[in-house]
Structure 1
């Protein structure tokens, strides 16, 4: 069986394993999120656009007219500017003093999360003779970065009075919005409004207020305010098993490989490292060339499933660094047959949410863990495919 030609050609890169990103689904998700919330969108493209590819995704979102992009680190913002992306970009992470000049030089908006960080931004801007565009980070319960909402008055006053910083936005981050039943989100909304009220008390114009992450977009209209910041839901994946599909979003990513080897494993023989799985009868096993070295979780050992010829089959034995094995029982499979790890094949589908559940983690980790060893292909949009 293993010498038969396959059903599909190998990927352009030559590697049989590939990620396919559907840009039309990405555009659809953006449209439906916009229609749902009725306010501008800051599309979050950090962590290689949740594994979908930083530059191609950002370029496509810019072509869709997205109002703002959000990244985690200054390096991500610089990469986008060097790729010709001109959409406003906010760096969401905490700033590191020596890097502040790079934000300003590349027209990146700065998260200012303390009075000290404000002074660093002011000093860099003054030295360059160019104003810094900043968003003030208010901590309403995440306890990560940001000035506590209950002690933010002096911070807000200093930012408004700054000669070298222009306050474009003020924001916070929701800790529990993925669960629509959590009471914490509305507590955070209240704390955020209390902090923002200080702009009115001192007669300052209200900056752009943004609070909603994916969970907020899905579940809490109270968080939509002046702009929303969808992350994982923009890519068509729900953030948590408790999340509700209140918007029609479709997965933008599929992950597939191909069969590279076929064998019969006799009853009593074991498969893979540690001999953790034993065949209880003669069975057919195929090998798939992707492993934890690509970011495919080792925790799926003897737990995960794949699709071959429209049927589900179990991963058996430990996932290796570069390969894993699949038990197809008495069925047939040929070398180069498509193997779907995330996505649809025939009438069957495996979602990122399902993979995360079986791996004992969250969908975010599945998506962002898929590294650059895996080539990415883009379909739809302006690719002409």
Structure 2
């Protein structure tokens, strides 16, 4: 389960109510009568649940066009202002925050003018952004159902701490759940950045077409997230999708981590300060970048094959902080066939670049409290 809890004053929804909200989320404008055919609930139960959700402000009713005789069945939409989720993403050289409304719309997204090298200062700056954002949009803190926090690295000691990459070493050993709860006084969810990015894809991107998919996150390091049957999968210790674990330390030097690419570019005389600078300056014509893509593609394909073998996804999404032109270079690299049996090859997932703009980890972190609290 995701590390979080529901506030005592929050409306507690049962599974049937969450199912109705999920169906409306996926089918905006669906008629109340159409909901009945998509559930095992009878008509009176669906009508009762819809009435309750409407009274509590989660659903908005509209009128469907008349289809024959009789009164048209009301159309249903999520009420965007019903609740909000706030998300935080700590990357190796940047901090992003977002506020997402109940329909998954982005109310606010911002890369903060702060560097994550100082955890205490960073968290205070995030809190100031949170309070300023609520004030700007006239949103009561009680409307925020929770705060999602994401960071590069893996979780340990019952998801209490992060083991981050070297640029974020100052965050090692901090009980972030406790600190963020004290700062925000809201329910808190803690995940690594690849998992929350996959969460954003499930809600806003690839998940609208694919129920099961893998997500490969290109950041300072290289990781992954998993969505199975529409739900992000965290695993027993919160580290499902940590795909770099399949490489030995020696092989890890040729994994597709952007920190390694930056080091190569610097060694070759191309000065890149950090990943944001890489995104601003990246040129697919750089010979160093072209050679690096050739060198690391075998291990990228190995990671894809491992994910394909274990979860049988409909798609694998390339995302994180990867420059789009670099992602296109990877897509253009030829793949080696896994072979045939009796003249038939196993189906292979679609390989796509994430279409989500901005820091998908921050968006997914904001969506996590909403999804875990209100959607099935």
Place the TM-score, normalised by the shorter chain, in its bin: under 0.3
Structure label with greater radius of gyration = 1
More helix by share: 2
More strand by share: 1
The two structures have a TM-score, normalised by structure 1, of 0.26
